[in-house]
């Protein structure tokens, strides 16, 4: 065993030893009662984490696959959708809609801020034929949490469905699908769920299923109907990622044993610890509404971001840089899933050391 490496990126995140051991079991066949028991347990557990009574469909894909699935299963060519764009992943929803001939009406907000409910109301009034509103729970590229609850109250009074990319926020930031009026919620495996990349999740409300029945966009692998028809049997239309599902079953059991609300609260406390420590160093946070999954920190003046991140990697600590227009301007520290407080303490101490070497006044 070599020296421990500290992976503090907002996906992938570290995989706890208990989950690694579970995934090291001999492979099984998926058309068996043994696998169906795993799939059933996973679905019931995911429902508790999403806080929904709806089934949760699991895809063998990254989170972007489930984002695409949410578009192609609910909309038709020529439809109008409203997209909140305050970072790279808001932009991604626009790109997916455009690729399938859906008119994406953007609500552009300053990166690091959240969408104002009033702006959502105005956009829906200007586009009364909009069938969907797309947004994030946590915009990972800016480490910003959005007020999904308030926006769900608005979309719930319209014919538009609310589709939320909760990939990085789910399990870290507070989220309640049913109570908040979310119609499609999307998750991913490599964030707070503590397992490697490769699985994505989609929970679908009755209101959204009404649109699914009308959609005429092309779909095959990601066809919601194919998955839903087999949910009663706890089966999958295609070969699932069996090893990841075994790991997910273990991860869910760990989350439920801790308690979903306590799991979220722990993320909040770790996020507050990171933000306080960073500010005590004299550094500035980027986001005006920081997420409990990841913290974005402004890079000190005259510091080369790529050099800073490279220096930390040489010390065994991996942070993420900025994306898009924030490249070179911020670095991001994740505190989700299997990342423990002692990992954060070690990584932040190394950050302080590296900054001192760069003659940054702390």
Last residue of a domain, one of 257, 285, 313: 257
Q: How far is CA 148 from CA 179, 221, 234, in A?
A: 11, 29, 30
Last residue of a domain, one of 240, 257, 274: 257
Q: Which domain holds residue 190?
A: 17-257
Domains in the chain, number: 2
Residue 290 and residue 196 share a domain: no
SS3 40: helix
With CA atoms as reference, report the closest residue to 119 among 91, 161, 147.
147
| E strand or H helix that includes residue 349 | helix 341-357
The model's pTM is 0.97
Q: What is the pLDDT of residues 126-178, one digit of tens each?
A: 999 999 999 999 999 999 999 999 999 999 999 999 999 999 999 999 999 99
Q: What is the pLDDT of residues 39-75, one digit of tens each?
A: 999 999 999 999 999 999 999 999 999 999 999 999 9
The answer as to whether 211 is a domain residue is yes
**Residue 244's domain is classified under what CATH number?**
3.40.640.10
Cα dihedral 347, 348, 353, 355 sign: positive
Q: What count of Cα atoms within 13 Å lies in the side-chain half-sphere of residue 268?
A: 10
Confidence of residue 2 (pLDDT cuts 50, 70, 90): low
The answer as to whether 1 is a domain residue is no
């Amino acid at each position: 065993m070599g020296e421990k490496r500290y992976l503090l990126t907002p996906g992938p995140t570290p995989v706890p030893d208990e989950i690694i051991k579970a995934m090291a079991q001999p492979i099984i066949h998926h058309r068996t009662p043994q696998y169906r028991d795993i799939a059933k347990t996973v679905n019931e557990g995911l429902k508790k984490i999403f806080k929904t009574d709806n089934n949760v469909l699991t895809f063998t894909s990254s989170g972007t696959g489930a984002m695409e699935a949410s578009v192609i299963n609910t909309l038709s060519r020529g439809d109008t959708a409203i997209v909140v764009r305050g970072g790279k992943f808001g932009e991604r929803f626009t790109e997916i809609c455009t690729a399938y001939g859906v008119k994406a009406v953007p609500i552009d907000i300053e990166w690091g801020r959240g969408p104002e409910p009033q702006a959502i109301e105005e956009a829906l009034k200007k586009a009364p034929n909009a069938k969907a509103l797309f947004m994030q729970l946590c915009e990972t590229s800016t480490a910003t949490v959005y007020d999904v609850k308030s926006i769900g109250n608005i979309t719930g009074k319209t014919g538009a469905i609310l589709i939320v990319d909760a990939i990085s926020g789910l399990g870290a930031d507070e989220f309640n699908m049913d109570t908040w009026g979310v119609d499609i919620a999307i998750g991913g495996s490599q964030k707070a769920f503590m397992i490697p990349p490769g699985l994505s999740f989609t929970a679908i409300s009755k209101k959204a299923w009404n649109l699914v029945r009308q959609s005429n966009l092309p779909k095959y692998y990601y066809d919601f109907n194919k998955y839903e028809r087999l949910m009663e049997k706890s089966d999958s239309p295609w070969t699932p990622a069996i090893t990841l599902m075994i790991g997910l079953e273990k991860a869910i059991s760990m989350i439920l044993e801790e308690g979903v609300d306590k799991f979220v609260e722990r993320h909040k406390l770790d996020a507050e610890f990171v933000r306080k420590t960073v500010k005590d160093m004299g550094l500035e946070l980027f986001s005006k509404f920081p997420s409990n999954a990841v913290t974005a920190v402004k890079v000190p003046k005259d510091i080369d971001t790529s050099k800073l991140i490279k220096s930390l990697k040489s010390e065994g600590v991996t942070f993420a840089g900025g994306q898009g227009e924030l490249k070179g301007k911020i670095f991001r520290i994740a505190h989700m899933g299997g990342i423990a407080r002692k990992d954060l303490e070690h990584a932040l101490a190394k950050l302080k050391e590296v900054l001192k070497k760069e003659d940054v006044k702390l």
